Amino acid sequence: MSNIGNMLRLARQRKGFTQKFASGKLGVTQPVLSRYENGAAEADSSFLLLASRVYDIPKGFFSLNEPVYGPAVSVHPMPRAKASVTARDLDMVTAELNIRAMQMRRFLDGVDYSPTSNLPQFDVESYGTPTKIAALLRAHWKLPFGPINNLTALVERAGIIVAHSDFGGASVSGMTFQVPGQPPLILLNGAHPADRMRLTLGHELGHVIMHKFPTPDMEREAFEFSSTFLFPPNELRSQFRGRKPTLELLASLKPEWKMAMSAILYAANREKLITPNQYRYLNMQIAKRGWKTREPSNLDFAHETPKIMTAILRAHLDELGYTFDDLLNFIPMYKTEFTTLYGDVGKPVNNKPKLRIVN
């Protein structure tokens, strides 16, 4: 059975077009486009050529015989009550994840990426609370006491692919995509401050570690895991012991532990290291200063940079003899979008992950 319909739908969703809007641009009725996308009718070559122009993607994309997967189990919306992920947003980011997964499978065919630490599974029902699982994972990975200097590097060493995305402007902080036979893929909103990206990455790591299947409490559990993995309760207690909870204290802890002041305050309240009145007062002070969405820039620290995918792409160019045009043809797309997904692959990778070329 032809896969053209699936690829047509994916190309449309990747652009954020509704079926009604796309049918108008393509000069057909919505029922006709629906039949093409569902495989009930076969689109001819002239229609596919027009679709390639409307969707800004090479015509060869529609000929791919690749599986297309549904939405990710984990879609982490921005932490604002007014921020919601619409059906259009979900279609758009799911299309991006599918395209990345297709490319990743083909890119990984040429190299063998060898994680230096394994990725255990600790389901909450068997191992207790997310806080206990965070401590177990720290022990399993033999992490020293204190802050985690580079969470992205730590996650990549365990075989998870991390990448940044703008999610097409959707109100998404991060999401996890797991395709059979491939490493987990975690996408983070690259427009976010470094502290929020770390908390989101820990959140998505929690999903990978704890959640094989969706549960009603999975988002709360993933947040608790992230908070306690980045700042273990015992170490949090030692930082607050004998010290007055103030904005100055939170500000002093942020650069060291690489967590937002509001996230540290939330953790201190959860562990009952401050009184409810102190928690309310400090939250009001943070809100009054406009720090709910953007904390003081003088407390900023550098964003962490994922390295695995860049190293894999460089291996194809430097060691396997591929040209950049060859990379574009793995999953046909134009250079502009490829660069949007993967950045400048011409830049060298420092501390390159361990790769073995597959003959």
Mean pLDDT of the chain, nearest integer:
91
Name beta bridge partners: 174. Answer: 76, 188
* pLDDT, tens digit, 9 for 90 and up, residues 304-335: 999 999 999 999 999 999 999 999 999 999 99
pTM of the model: 0.91
* pLDDT, tens digit, 9 for 90 and up, residues 6-40: 999 999 999 999 999 999 999 999 999 999 999 99
In angstroms, the CA 20 to CA 18 distance is: 5
Extract the tokens encoding 346.
């011409």
pLDDT of residue 71: 83
Are β-strands 355-357 and 172-177 bridged in parallel, bridged antiparallel, or unpaired?
A: unpaired
Name the pLDDT band for 80 (thresholds 50, 70, 90): very low
Extract the tokens encoding 310.
């860049």
pLDDT at 83 over 60: no
In angstroms, the CA 248 to CA 20 distance is: 54
Please compute the mean of the pLDDT values over residues 37-65 and round it to a whole number: 96
The domains of the chain are located at 1-65
3-state helix, strand, coil in the chain (%, to 5): 55, 5, 40
Q: Decide which of 316 and 358 is more confident.
A: 316
- Tell me the percentage of the chain whose pLDDT exceeds 70: 92
* pLDDT, tens digit, 9 for 90 and up, residues 280-293: 999 999 999 999 88
**Largest Cα–Cα distance in the chain?**
74
In 3D space, the residue among 258, 257, 260, 208 whose CA is nearest the CA of residue 236 turns out to be 257
CATH topology of domain 1-65: 434 Repressor (Amino-terminal Domain) (1.10.260)
Q: Are 148 and 123 in contact (CB under 8 A)?
A: no
pLDDT at 82 over 50: no
Written as one string, the DSSP assignment of 334-350 is: -HHHHHHHH--TTS--T
* pLDDT, tens digit, 9 for 90 and up, residues 188-222: 999 999 999 999 999 999 999 999 888 889 999 99
Name the pLDDT band for 349 (thresholds 50, 70, 90): low
pLDDT of residue 73: 64
Name the pLDDT band for 74 (thresholds 50, 70, 90): low
Q: Decide which of 1 and 139 is more confident.
A: 139
In angstroms, the CA 346 to CA 76 distance is: 31
pLDDT at 76 over 60: no
